[in-house]
Chain A
């Protein structure tokens, strides 16, 4: 049990420091590591990720569910700390350092350099999630509807997701053969 906890803390602590540009950048890596080292299938990963989509606040709080599943409430607590503390401590000190030295051209350069990397990694996140979420014409149509809904309307994304999710469930429930 203790070894599982240590393993979880190291895994999520590392992911915390690798999350350049936000949580989505580590989505693909998280799915892979949880599958290889903790036997969490990509399908289960996707379900937990979907629960996170419905949560208030940052969607990545869903990581605590993996901790809970693997090591109970202690696991949830430690995974939460491991995922949010290291990057926060780093940001805290860098923030103070930056106030001290003032703005330099290098900060902007670092941000410009990391931005396209993080977009590339977000594409990997979309790819990883999409590979298990899109399994036929119906789910592809749902995803495209959500894409359009988020990009071209001002509806809050959580309603888009809930509405389309419910629509998908209804179609599969009453018309399982369709699509």
Chain B
């Protein structure tokens, strides 16, 4: 590491854990990456904008949840492998605790009429939310024939042909890489 001398020492593992615990606890309704950007680059200044965008780019390229991947990469930059571990644990603990408590309560009385009605309404609304997120992330893809073709083919193989996901990726990734390969 030959980075320019930094007057502020790197944060402790405990500080990293608490910061990500906070992100995990307050980021309701998705969009966690936006919370991470604000807290990590503006409030804490642990990363500058370029570093954050580089982490985000790798997170989007790799499998896994973007927010978790960003926690892993930020943790590693700050405090190595232990930093990665505490950052991702912090991010996940609030949500896991919530779903476990709710899940256990729900599984214990699955035939609670009102709870079922509420979940049915939430499920319908969640379908709308998911469509909106897909649209927001994908609308740029819909303008390019090449991208639109890949979007449609992936959906078609998965949902209409009912192929398994590994099979869909085995077919689509090489085709898409060929189409999007860097220009020599």
Contact = CB atoms under 8 A, between A and B. Distances in A.
Contact of A109 (B117, B120, B123, B177): B177
Contacts of B132: 146-147, 150-151
Contacts of A132: 123
Given A48-B103, A167-B121, A120 B155 contact: yes
A68 B108 CA distance: 12
A32 B118 CA distance: 24
A111 B124 CA distance: 31
A158 B125 contact: no
A76 B129 CA distance: 26
B125 A120 contact: no
Interface residues of A, number: 105
B64 A92 contact: no
A87 B181 CA distance: 24
Interface in A95-145: 95-96, 98, 103, 105-117, 119-130, 132-134, 138-140, 142-145
A91 interface: yes
B81 A92 contact: yes
Contact of A156 (B28, B59, B73): B28
Contact of A146 (B99, B128, B172): B128
Interface of A: 14-24, 26, 28-29, 32, 46-62, 64-65, 68-69, 76, 80, 84, 87-88, 90-92, 94-96, 98, 103, 105-117, 119-130, 132-134, 138-140, 142-151, 156-162, 164-169, 172-173
Given A65-B100, A119-B137, A158-B28, 9 more contacts: A64-B99, A88-B69, A94-B62, A116-B151, A117-B169, A120-B150, A133-B120, A139-B123, A157-B29
9 closest Cβ pairs, A-B complex: A168-B121, A120-B154, A87-B64, A146-B128, A57-B95, A158-B29, A65-B103, A165-B122, A157-B29
14 contacts: A18-B169, A47-B106, A51-B102, A53-B125, A57-B32, A58-B68, A58-B91, A61-B95, A64-B96, A92-B76, A96-B76, A117-B154, A160-B29, A165-B125
